[in-house]
């Protein structure tokens, strides 16, 4: 008689861990405007708009007055974000896990990641200076391929730019374990993980031990004069050179999402189609319009048309099935007569590719860039008027509840703050540079 065994089912007392990117914004952003504002309120900051010079005083004591002029910069609290999930009561009866608490954590992480991505994009978009390949003897506008040979030069170039523009900083300020301390004046460098690797290899090649460092808010120690923070939320930019109209069926791919150029868009049938217009400039216009609204469909006409992605159009990213429109989250596109440029916030390195008939049409390698940030901390104004908070909403005619995490915020880099921010354009086009995903559950 065969032996039979009874095996019991054992359930762990918690959910598996998620791997969200560590937010940097509590360290680098100035949050002084958060209190007392509401949606639609406007923050004003005045500045002097003309220089003043020291003139010679005449022998009789005469002097010449100079013009005094003021101007004003503003930003309005306008960003509203939410992350929500519906939990049916019967779905949590089979487990002793705190489902609502777990999803509350996930929802808040999604909101904090969005704020972080917006803050880092604002730093890149409004930076007063740029370090690119032209800064080290190459072509201006192209990205720098970070290497052991040049990595030590980058913080030195950044320091020269700060000193050359009389930016005020505190050279001896170091990051501690409390992210909300006043780090105003602290020299900060936000890097992608791929640059962290280069820095580690640089130290190893010199038998230098960095020692143990705290890891709060992505902090990984010092390099040069800068407190370095690793982030997967840095913005990515790329340029598609499209100077010749594509051929019917040509494709481009962004983050695994395929977009197909068609002479005739098939009336909402095949998602991801973009109209080939009568001129390449108009084709670029169509492509940018589609990328800026990837769930929208525009009927085919002489010079316009594209088919948006629906909820059933999905891809796999990082082991999860997600909507193609979600894969393109945070993307903005601008067109010109000879190409289309994209910026994706909160993405880090993104893989782009193309199958285009004309050899002149391609993703320009040196324009595939992750934008690392040198800055003096607290030089991005961020007003988080509504801290992320969970709202529990019973569902009518259903044994279920919606859990909604939401917030209201906005940001601005003012003129004086821009001088304290440097965009470091990194060329990440090489296939040897790993692409990571920020999609987590």
Residue 78, phi-psi category: left (phi > 0), alpha (psi -120 to 50), beta (remainder):
alpha
pLDDT at residue 399, as a whole number = 85
Domain CATH number, residue 126: 3.90.1690
Q: 411: domain range?
A: 19-48+73-236+371-441
pLDDT digits (tens, 9 = 90+) for 17-60: 777 788 999 889 998 877 777 888 898 999 988 889 999 999 99
Q: Give the separation between CA 426 and CA 441, rounded to whole angstroms.
A: 29
| Nearby residues of 160 by Cβ (< 8 Å), 6 or more positions away | none
Burial of 401 (0-12, 13-18, 19+ CB in 10 A): middle
User: How open is the CA angle 381-383-389, to the nearest 5 degrees?
Assistant: 145
Structural domain contains residue 364? no
Q: Are residues 202 and 330 in the same domain?
A: no
Residue 173 and residue 363: Cα distance in Å, rounded? Answer: 41
| pLDDT (0 to 100) of residue 176 | 63
Q: How many CB atoms lie within 10 A of CB 1?
A: 3
Statement to judge: residues 110 and 215 lie in one domain = yes
Give how far Cα 251 sits from Cα of 279, 293, 314, 344, 350, Å.
18, 18, 17, 19, 17
Q: Is 380 a member of any domain?
A: yes
Q: Within a domain: residue 59?
A: no
**Total residues belonging to the chain:** 441
- Asked if residue 10 is part of any domain, the answer here is no
Is there a single domain that holds both residue 273 and residue 172? no
Domains in the chain, number: 2
Distance CA 405, CA 105 (A): 10
Q: How far is it, in rounded angstroms, from Cα 220 to Cα 198?
A: 13
Same domain flag for 400 and 311:
no
Residue 211 lies in a domain: yes
All residues at 6 or more sequence positions from 195 whose CB lies less than 8 Å from its CB, including other chains:
146, 151, 372, 426
Distance of CA 368 to the CA centre of its chain: 14
Are 197 and 111 members of one domain?
A: yes
pTM for the predicted model, two decimal places:
0.91
Same domain, 201 and 79: yes
pLDDT under 50: residue ranges of the chain: 211-215
- Strands of 249-288 (E only): list them: 251-254, 257-262, 273-275
CA dist 123 and 372 (Å) reads: 10
Rounded Cα distance, 433 and 351, in Å: 10
pLDDT for res 388: 73
Report the b/e string of 83-105 with b at 16+ CB within 10 A.
beeebeeeeeeeeeeeeeeebbb
State which of 280, 315, 337 marks the end of a domain: 337
| Whole-number CA gyration radius for the chain | 26
Q: Are residues 193 and 330 in the same domain?
A: no
In tens, the pLDDT along 160-198 reads 999 999 988 877 776 665 555 566 788 999 999 999 999
pLDDT at 211: 45
Distances (CA, A) of 279 to 167, 285, 304, 305, 407: 47, 10, 11, 14, 43
Strands 42-48 and 70-76: antiparallel
Is 249 contained in some domain?
yes
Structure confidence at residue 179 (pLDDT): 55
Per DSSP, the residues of 301-363 read -SS--B----TT-EEEETTEEEEHHHHTTTEEEEEETTEEEEEETT--S--EEEE-SSTT-EE
Are both 228 and 255 inside the same structural domain? Answer: no
Q: Are residues 33 and 165 in the same domain?
A: yes
316 and 172 share one domain: no
């Amino acid at each position: 008689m065969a032996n039979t065994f009874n095996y019991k089912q054992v359930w762990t007392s918690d959910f598996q861990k998620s791997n969200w990117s560590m937010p940097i914004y509590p360290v680098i952003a100035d949050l002084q405007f958060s209190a007392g504002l509401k949606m639609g309120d406007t923050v004003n900051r005045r500045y002097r708009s003309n220089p003043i010079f020291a003139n010679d005083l005449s022998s009789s004591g005469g002097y010449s007055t100079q013009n005094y002029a003021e101007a004003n910069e503003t930003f309005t609290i306008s960003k509203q974000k939410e992350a929500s999930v519906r939990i049916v009561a019967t779905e949590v009866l089979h487990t002793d896990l705190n489902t609502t608490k777990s999803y509350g954590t996930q929802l808040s992480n999604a909101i904090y990641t969005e704020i972080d991505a917006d803050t880092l994009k604002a730093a890149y978009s409004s930076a007063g200076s740029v370090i690119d390949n032209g800064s080290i003897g190459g072509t201006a506008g192209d990205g720098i391929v970070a290497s052991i040979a040049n990595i030590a030069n980058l913080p030195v170039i950044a320091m020269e730019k700060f000193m050359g523009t009389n930016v005020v900083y505190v050279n001896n300020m170091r990051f501690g374990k409390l992210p909300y301390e006043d780090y105003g004046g602290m020299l900060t460098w936000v890097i992608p993980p791929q640059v962290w690797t280069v820095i580690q290899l640089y130290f190893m090649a010199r038998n230098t031990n960095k020692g143990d460092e705290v890891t709060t808010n992505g902090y990984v120690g010092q390099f040069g004069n800068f407190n370095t923070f690793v982030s997967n939320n840095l913005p990515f930019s790329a340029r598609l050179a499209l100077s010749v109209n594509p051929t019917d069926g040509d494709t481009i791919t962004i983050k695994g999402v395929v977009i197909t150029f068609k002479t005739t868009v098939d009336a909402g049938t095949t998602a991801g189609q973009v109209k080939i217009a009568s001129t390449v400039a108009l084709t670029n216009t169509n492509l940018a319009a589609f990328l800026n609204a990837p769930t929208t469909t525009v009927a085919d006409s002489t010079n316009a048309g594209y088919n948006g992605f629906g909820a059933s159009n999905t891809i796999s990213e990082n082991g999860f099935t997600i909507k193609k429109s979600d894969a393109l989250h945070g993307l903005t596109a601008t067109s010109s007569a000879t190409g289309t440029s994209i910026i994706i916030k909160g993405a880090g390195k993104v893989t782009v590719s193309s199958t285009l008939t004309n050899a002149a049409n391609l993703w320009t390698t040196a324009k595939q860039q992750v934008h690392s940030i040198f800055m003096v901390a607290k030089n991005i104004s961020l007003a988080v008027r509504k801290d992320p908070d969970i709202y529990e909403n019973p569902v009518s005619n259903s044994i279920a509840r919606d859990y909604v995490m939401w917030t209201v915020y906005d940001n601005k880099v003012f003129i004086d703050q821009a001088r304290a921010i440097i965009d470091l354009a990194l060329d990440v086009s090489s296939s040897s540079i790993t692409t990571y995903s920020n999609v987590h559950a």
